[in-house]
Amino acid sequence: MDPAIILITNDDGFGAEGLRLLEESLTPLGEVWVVAPDREQSGQGHALTLNHPLRIEARGLRHYAVQGTPTDCIYLGVHRVLPRRPALVVSGINKGTNLGDDITYSGTVSAALEATLINVPAFAMSQQIRDGAADFAAAGRFARRLAGEVLRRGLPIDTLLNVNVPLTPPAGIRVTRQGKRLYPGGVIERADPKGRTYYWIGGAPAQWAEDAESDFAALHAGFISLTPLHLDLTNHRVMDEVRNWNLEA
C-alpha cells in the first residue's frame, strides 16, 4: 500500500522555520509533501486567487512553492500536485498565535479550513512568540502526537482543529472554545513626506473577554489550547427569530 500523504502548508511562506520544523516532526508518520506560499501571506484569511495566473515552482523532492495564498496551496496541492489524496493536512507552525475571532483573518487556519471543505482531516498549529522570536520544538512534538491521533481516528465531518502552543513549556493540554477579542479599534494615523495621510491597522495591545474555557485563557495559563472548529457558521438559535421579521412584501 502507498504510504499516507501528509500535505503541509503555512502562511509565513516557504522559507519559514515553523514549516521546516513541522515537516521534520511529521516525517515519521507518512510521506510529507510541502506546498506553501513562496512569500509571507499572513492575514490573507481564506483568500482564493481568481484573477491572475498561479505558478508552482518545484523546490526539490515533494517541495513546491506557489505564488499564491495558503488556500491556493491546498487547492492546487490536492487537485494538481499530489499523486493521490492526502490523509491529513497540517498548516503551520505559524509564528504567532491564532486565537479567538482573529482566526477569521488567519491564512494558517484557512488552509486547514480549505482541506476540511474537501473532506480531508486537517489542523492548524500556531506558536506564541515574544519579541518576534519563537521556539517551535514543543509545538512540533505536539503536532506529531496530534497527527498520529487524527490519522487513526479521523475527524467528524466539517470539523477542523485549531492549536495554539504557549511560550513556556506547556503545563498540559486544554480543549477550549474560540474566545472573544475586545477590539480597541487601534488605527495609527501618519503623514507621508508629501503631507498625505495614511493609516496602519493595529497598535493596541491584545485584550480578551473573561472566559475560563477560551483559547486565550488556556494559553495565558501556559497550556496548549486545542479548539475544535466547525465550518457551519449558521446561528441556529436565531433562525426562528429572523423568520418572524416582517420581510414579505
Binding site for Mn ion (CB under 5 A): 11-12, 42, 94
Give the shortest CB-89-to-Mn ion separation in angstroms.
16
Block residue for cell numbers 500536485: 81
Compute the least distance from the CB of residue 156 to Mn ion, in Å.
27
Least separation in angstroms between residue 42's CB and Mn ion is 3
The nearer residue to Mn ion, 13 or 228, going by C-beta atoms, is 13
Indicate the residue among 41 and 214 with the shorter CB distance to Mn ion. 41
- Smallest gap from Cβ 116 to Mn ion, in A, equals 19
If the CB atoms of residues 110 and 214 are measured against Mn ion, the closer one turns out to be 110
Whole-number Å distance between alpha carbons of 83 and 193: 52
* C-beta of 94 vs 162, nearer to Mn ion: 94
Which of 214-218's residues contact partners 24+ apart within 8 Å by CB, and which partners? 214/100, 214/176, 214/177, 214/178, 214/179, 214/180, 215/99, 215/100, 215/162, 215/164, 215/176, 215/177, 215/178, 215/179, 216/99, 216/100, 216/179, 216/181, 217/176, 217/179, 218/164, 218/174, 218/176
The closest residue (CB) to Mn ion is 42
Q: Give me the least distance between CB of 226 and Mn ion, in Å please.
A: 19
Distances, alpha carbon 201 to alpha carbons 39, 188, 207, in Å: 21, 6, 16
CB closer to Mn ion out of 11 and 215? 11
